[in-house]
Amino acid sequence: MTETIRGLHHVTAIAIDPQANIDFYTRLLGLRLVKETVNFDDPGTYHFYYGDTSGHPGTILTFFPFVSAGRGRSGSGMVDAVTFAVPGKSLDGWVVRLAERGIDVDGPFTRFSRPVIGFSDPDGLRLEITAVDNLERFSPAPADRDAAPAIGGFGGVTVCVEAPERTVELLTETFGYRQVAEDAGRRRLRAANAADGTIGAELDVVCHPEAIHGRLGGGSVHHIAFRAQTDEEQCGWREKIAALGFNVTPVLDRQYFRSIYFREPGGILFEIATDPPGFAVDEQPDRLGTSLKLPPWLEPRRADLERRLPPVRLPGAGS
């Protein structure tokens, strides 16, 4: 197996209003809805996947929209922020775009020599955009975004934990991340062999001693997923993580990838997901995200699920 993790596969968060979620991430941020499906563990709830044109690993932000969910609370044992990366010297367009749409923006400020702005989505999820020189690019999503440069994918995520040493040890000694910077209690880690500007390669670890424990709900991150290139590589990681004493799930079929889950020492749910088969397994690439897709084992329940799910307007569904 590969001895190091390649970086982020996806990040999954909790939303409340499904239509507001779709509109914000496709119309305002310009991401592509690459899949409309359901939460396989709770099929009465949607699962939306946003990313670049093809949904490459490292560009995928997903949501469970629980209509009856209360607001979550940031704090220890939670993801503090999700950061998107855009080409260098391109933040001004984003500041203008967000401000024109009534979004409160923090910054720009500088973090590890990169300019950053912060803001929140409709449910309070903390988001950031950072300008990155030599940014690795995939295929920007062709969405209703007419001003600012396209988001390239994840710049990284920030995790807030009580005992950062244990989390950093897992990420460096087991996953193979390298610490590349530290400032004011924030440690920046980068996946081994990844260059500056590689999409999804970085992760920041912070500790806020005064922070109370966070609470899942609307506007909070449910889990972070890391990449495995093959099923064999994923099985190797499962054996390695189990040998360290973590309680790891069996391999679960998520239709577009296969997954294993465990909680890291700080309490955040980690997933390792396979790159294949990808989002074109049940839709043509030019039709991704334009209709409700169900895995074979849920297809017999389609009529019932469609009655239970709130109606939404999908980008491109009528084209």
Domain ranges of the chain: 8-308
Q: How far is the C-alpha of 298 from the C-alpha of 302, rounded, in Å?
A: 7
Cα angle 21, 284, 154; round to 5: 45
CA of residue 43 relative to chain centroid, distance:
20
Count the neighbouring beta carbons within 10 Å of the beta carbon of residue 54: 16
3-class secondary structure, 3: coil
Q: Compute the distance between CA of residue 16 and CA of residue 64 in angstroms, rounded to an integer.
A: 8
| pLDDT at residue number 310 | 96
Closest to 176 (Cα-Cα) out of 201, 149, 212, 146: 201
CB 305, CB 298: distance < 8 Å: yes
Contact 65, 16 (CB under 8 A): yes
Q: How confident is the model at residue 141 (pLDDT cuts 50, 70, 90)?
A: low
CA distance 266 to 269: 9
Give residue 146's pLDDT band: very low, low, confident or very high (50, 70, 90). low
Q: What's the pLDDT band for 7 if we cut at 50, 70, 90?
A: very high
- Measured CA to CA, the distance from residue 24 to residue 83 in angstroms comes to 16
In the 8-state DSSP scheme, what is residue 89?
T
pLDDT exceeds 80 at position 315: yes
Query: What integer best gives the mean pLDDT of the chain?
Result: 92
Alpha carbon 80 to chain centroid distance? 12
> What residue type is 136 in one-letter code?
E
Contact yes or no for 306/293 (Cβ under 8 A): no
Residue 88 has pLDDT above 90, yes or no: no
Return the residue matching tokens 């359901």.
Answer: 38
Rounded-to-integer distance, Cα 92 and Cα 64, Å: 31
Higher-scoring residue by pLDDT: 75, 309: 309
- Long-range contacts (CB closer than 8 Å, 24 or more residues apart) made by 236-240: 236/1, 236/2, 237/1, 237/5, 237/272, 238/272, 240/1, 240/174
Which CATH code is given to the segment(s) 8-308? Answer: 3.10.180.10
30-68 per-position pLDDT tens digit: 999 999 999 999 999 999 999 999 999 999 999 999 998
Question: Of 287, 309, 293, 315, nearest to 25 (Cα)?
Answer: 315
Averaged pLDDT for residues 234-239: 97
**pTM of the full structure:** 0.95
CA dist 104 → 7, 17, 108, 120, 156 (Å): 30, 20, 12, 8, 21
Distance CA 140, CA 260 (A): 29
Summarize the confidence of residues 9-18 as an average pLDDT.
98
Backbone angles phi, psi at 313, to 5 degrees: -95, 120
Answer yes or no: are the C-beta atoms of 177 and 192 closer than 8 Å.
yes
**3-class SS at 2?**
coil
pLDDT digits (tens, 9 = 90+) for 180-190: 999 988 999 99
